[in-house]
Amino acid sequence: MMNMKKMMQQAQDLQKNMKKAQAEIEETTFYGTSAQDLVKVAFTGDRKLTNLDISAELIDPEDAETLSDMIAQAVNNALVEIDKTTEQKMGKFTKGLPF
């Protein structure tokens, strides 16, 4: 019976630590940039865009495609950083679990 009680306590501790790690991720600001830092973005850990900075030299009315590409590159860069950090912080809780 003690073994089951210990397992339940460990599960509760794991859940508490996972919630804490998730909160830390959500409170973190992640940055992404395009080539030559012409577009910079900032996201919260829960994937909300908080800032978009576009270099004035990139704004060319005749070349909207380049601006679009640079924005996509910066956004995707930031989202990759969120995924990497989430995997690093949350992955340690699921290693060795059978699912």
Question: Where does the pLDDT of residue 2 fall: very low under 50, low under 70, confident under 90, or very high at 90 and above?
Answer: low
Tell me the chain's radius of gyration from C-alpha atoms: 20
Q: pLDDT tens digits, residue range 41-92?
A: 999 999 999 999 999 988 998 999 999 999 999 999 999 999 999 989 888 7
The confidence score (pLDDT) of residue 96 equals: 64
The full set of domains in the chain, from first to last, is 26-85 (3.30.1310.10)
Number of Cα atoms under 13 Å in the Cβ half of residue 93: 17
Give me the count of residues in the chain.
99
Which of helix, strand or coil describes residue 4?
Answer: helix
Cα separation, 33 vs 74, whole angstroms? 4
Q: pLDDT tens digits, residue range 24-55?
A: 999 999 999 999 999 999 999 999 999 999 99
